[in-house]
Structure 1
Amino acid sequence: MNALVLLTLILFVSMTIIGGKKGVRSFVALFINFIVLIITVLIMTDPSANPILLTIIACILISCTTLFFINEVNHKTKTAFVSTILTTVLLLFFIAFITERTMIQGFADEEIEGLTTFSFYLGVDFVKIAASVIIMSTIGAVADEAISISSPMFEIYRHNPHLSQKELFLSGIRIGKDLLGSSANTLFFAFFGGYLALLIRFKDLNYSFGQIMNAKVFRAEMVTILCAGIGVALIIPITAFITSYVLVKFEVGKEQ
């Protein structure tokens, strides 16, 4: 049996046994999001396509799958969805600006050694492509943190309906603080682990510290990590504010 098929079956069985119906939905959501990403990448190869617009559409679809398909449609997931999309749009334009300023778009020297016979004049905007790659690398963590803040806030309000919007907002911030460290570390080690072989290669080639810091591929990775960290930090006050506003303004938490 193919190793990928075997690992997929093990993942499915594990998620089904531990997560039940929600585990099955989570497993299906993985493939739905994978298909969305593949289609988005294929459309991005068209020079007339706008990578930023495609990324926003892809993030909306991924957020819908992650929040509504797995956790069903309710007030908690709706507020988390709005918070996720708002954070994503703000972060996307910020990342596009940073990407252009740091000049990390395109291919680094370490990545093109075996591709020198091919043309790199693809007719696509690599600044926007680089920004799209970074934002789609963080959308899962942002959506997960949004629902992790929104859901406890609804429970807090359901048990304490007398709380003001400010008190609810501060409760959401405190919840987010507990999530921030673990989310940032998860993103850091996920991205950094993927480039561990590159760091070993830097050592074998006797790169100095300055050469490593100025290597395009290393800078691109660090920008990705830092922007992802900004995203998981930014989602906390946005989700806390939107959720507290919805709870107090419409008193939906009492219905849960």
Structure 2
Amino acid sequence: MNTLVVMAAILFLLMVAVGGGKGARSFIALFFNFVVLLFAIFIMLDPSANIILVTIIASAAISCITLFYINEVNSTTKTAFLSTVITIVLLISLIVFLTETAMIQGFSEEEVGELYIFSFYIGIDFMKIAAAVIIMSTIGAITDMAIAIASPMREIFYHHPTITKKELFKSGLSIGRDILGTNTNTLFFAFFGGYLALLIWFKDLDYSTGQIVNSKVFTEEIITIMCAGIGIAIIIPITSWITAYVLMKAGLKKEEEIEGSE
């Protein structure tokens, strides 16, 4: 416990030292997001609850905290939030389809061994729980990508007010391409970092490559990575177009106001 407190204090001090007030808000936002996630889990425990709907609402709340609380309400965060919502809506059907087709719901064989003394008849649709897990896992990467594109595009527009919408849109795509590979690799290596012990265990048990690839725990994580990667790729043109449209519209409105005052 003391170690956790010390590590949390170090993290807070570093975030404040580097980010100032925004760094402090970022640290506090971690706890707000945790509360939202915990509250969503408690609601999901009710058999009558719509798990997918609860997940969507919780994801929207997490996005609001991440974007509006940390970065305040402005054109950049608004466009990033709108892009995030559109991308999540587009991904929901794919995620539900994949969870139903791949049959990755519930516990894997490797996990059941430690839980066999408990009853699995808890009155909750594990199919929807699996979809909710994937949605929750993708929301962070998608939100980060949205703000990472919208913020530089805003700076480009303010430093080059004569830029056209097409050029601004292409700038957004270029920014997205530069960080697409790094974000995807982050997701990929986060899986191997978190499941390194499991992969070593697979090797000790002489699992073949086919057994590893077809194991439920491995397939679930790979599908999660793929869905997050698809979301990252989709949100690049969405954010670029919405941001270019909003900035150009705001710039045109500002010019009309200046001309009207003259």
Flag whether TM exceeds 0.5 (same fold): yes
CA 1:154 to 1:203, structure 2 compared with 1: closer, same or farther past 3 Å?
same
Question: How many residues get paired?
Answer: 255
**Could you say if the C-alpha distance between residues 164 and 203 of structure 1 is closer, same or farther in structure 2, counting changes exceeding 3 Å?**
same
> Quick one: which amino acid aligns to residue 82 of structure 1?
L
In the TM superposition, residue 51 of structure 1 has moved relative to its aligned partner by 1.3
Q: Distance in 2 between matches of 1:65 and 1:118?
A: 36
Q: How far 1:164 moved relative to its partner?
A: 2.6
What displacement does 1:160 show? 2.4
Residues 23 and 152 of structure 1: CA distance in aligned 2, closer, same or farther (over 3 Å): same
Q: Are 1:192 and 2:192 an aligned pair?
A: yes
SS of 1:251's partner is helix
**CA RMSD between the two structures:** 1.6
Cα distance, 1:163 vs structure 2: 2.6
Matched, 1:156 2:156: yes
Give the partner amino acid of 2:217. V
Distance 1:215 1:73 in 2: 44
Match of 2:71 in 1: 71
> Which secondary structure state, in structure 1, belongs to the residue aligned with residue 169 of structure 2?
helix
User: 2-side partners of 1:236 and 1:19: how far apart?
Assistant: 26
Query: Equivalent residues in 2 for 1:128-139 (5 A)?
Result: 128-139=128-139
Give me the whole-angstrom Cα distance separating, in 2, the residues matched to 1:183 and 1:7. 25
- Sequence identity percentage: 64
Deviation at 1:138, TM superposition (A): 1.9
Aligned mates of 2:251, 2:86 — CA distance in 1: 22
The runs of 5 or more residues in structure 1 that have no matched partner are none
TM-score by length of 1: 0.95
- What corresponds to 1:229 in structure 2? 229
Cα displacement (A) at 1:254: 6.2
Structure 2, unmatched stretches of 5+, are 256-262
- Contact 1:83 / 1:239 at 8 angstroms: preserved in 2? yes
How big is each residue's C-alpha offset from its partner over 1:130-187, in whole Å with a ceiling of 9 and x where there is no partner?
Answer: 1111111121121111111111111222222333322221111001001101111111
Contact 1:149-1:175 within 8 A present in 2 as well: yes
| Partners of 2:42 and 2:186 in 1: CA distance | 28
TM-aligned CA deviation for residue 126 of structure 1? 1.4
The residue that corresponds to 1:218 in the other structure is 218
Q: Which moved more, 1:183-192 or 1:103-112?
A: 183-192
**Corresponding residue number in structure 1 for 2:178:** 178
Paired residue secondary structure (2:114): helix
Contact 1:84 1:143 in 2 (8 A): yes
Q: TM-score scaled to structure 2, two decimals?
A: 0.93
Question: Hey, what does 2:39 align to over in structure 1?
Answer: 39
Structure 2 residue 92 is the aligned partner of structure 1 residue 106: no
Q: State the SS of the aligned residue for 1:48.
A: coil
Which residue number corresponds to residue 6 of structure 1?
A: 6
Aligned to 1:88: 88
- Residue 243, structure 1, aligned to residue 243, structure 2: yes
Aligned to 2:259: none
Q: Residues 68-120 of structure 1, C-alpha deviation per residue, up to 9 Å, x if partnerless?
A: 11111101110011001111121122111111111111111101102112111
Structure 1 residue ranges, 4+ long, deviating more than 4 angstroms after superposition: 252-255
3-state SS in 2 of match to 1:179: helix
**Contact in 2 for aligned 1:108/1:217 (Cα 8 Å):** yes
> After the TM superposition, which of the residue ranges 155-164 and 101-110 deviates more from structure 2?
155-164
Judging changes above 3 Å, is the alpha-carbon distance between structure 1 residues 253 and 232 closer, same or farther for their aligned structure 2 residues? farther
Deviation at 1:252, TM superposition (A): 7.2
Whether the 8 Å contact between 1:104 and 1:130 is mirrored in structure 2 is: yes
Structure 1 stretch 163-172 or stretch 82-91: which is displaced more? Answer: 163-172
Distance 1:87 1:78 in 2: 14
Larger radius of gyration: 2
